[in-house]
Structure 1
């Protein structure tokens, strides 16, 4: 079993942005350690943060919780937070199903200013146009 301190997140500064690269898999096993590290970084006085999930292939509800908590903390601190996700795969499907792009600014791929080759805003294609009617 891995301990909280055993999660190695690659963190670097690129053009004034703190880029946090998530591991290949984010689930209940490593989520607490990742959440703790991301929140600690936000609390340390960063000026902007990007959560890089472009290399992540599996993300479950524990991963969603990390992103929602990070968004809440960054909003309270007035620190811009965004997320970069892969174009296809599990992570993209999770973002679409949970409509996370409506909560957190999200790009497909890394933004160009951070060394990405291809980047575009993400729309929650699966969530748009499916507004539920109020129950009466």
Structure 2
């Protein structure tokens, strides 16, 4: 059931919150989760659930592609840091793909690139080390 707000002339309702999407694929032996939209406190729980499903004994190395993320706040960054810690505990790690722009600036300001390895593009992230496993093309959608 949708609730509609009736307002006076010349005023418009605020746009609905931006949705985020996540797709998990295997590319060249790497598990890659592509995120898009806004990763903020409203989306953090959903993103964490999706990352938790991608990281486990079957896959402790993950590349998270933030190329299509328009906004990332502290809650979103904490989700990424927790996923990195889970992956490290399983002997793997998490790499971020984040081209120069607002999201990368936010990562740099809030955590520094010391905690999370950040790469400008997917090719750089995958070239930084050998793939942890080999697998078929498409893995699953998260």
Scaled by the length of structure 1, what TM-score is found? 0.71
> Matches of 2:105 and 2:91 in 1, distance apart?
28
Count of aligned pairs: 110
5+ residue gaps, structure 2, are 1-18, 129-142
Q: Is 1:111 aligned with 2:120?
A: no
Checking the alignment, whether the CA contact within 8 Å between 1:55 and 1:86 is kept in structure 2 is: no
Checking the alignment, whether the CA contact within 8 Å between 2:60 and 2:87 is kept in structure 1 is: no
Scaled by the length of structure 2, what TM-score is found? 0.69
- Structure number with the bigger relative contact order (C-alpha 8 A, sep ≥ 6) is 2
Correspondent of 1:24 among 12, 28, 37: 37
Greater displacement, 97-106 / 74-83: 97-106
Counting helix residues as a fraction of each chain, which structure ranks higher?
1
Quickly say closer, same or farther: Cα 1:72–1:38, change in 2 above 3 A. same
Checking the alignment, whether the CA contact within 8 Å between 2:63 and 2:94 is kept in structure 1 is: yes
Q: Is 1:40 aligned with 2:50?
A: no
Runs of 4+ in 1 over 4 A off after TM superposition: none
Larger Rg belongs to:
2
Correspondent of 1:86 among 75, 81, 99: 99
5+ residue gaps, structure 1, are 1-5, 121-136
Match of residue 65 from structure 1: 78
Counting strand residues as a fraction of each chain, which structure ranks higher?
2
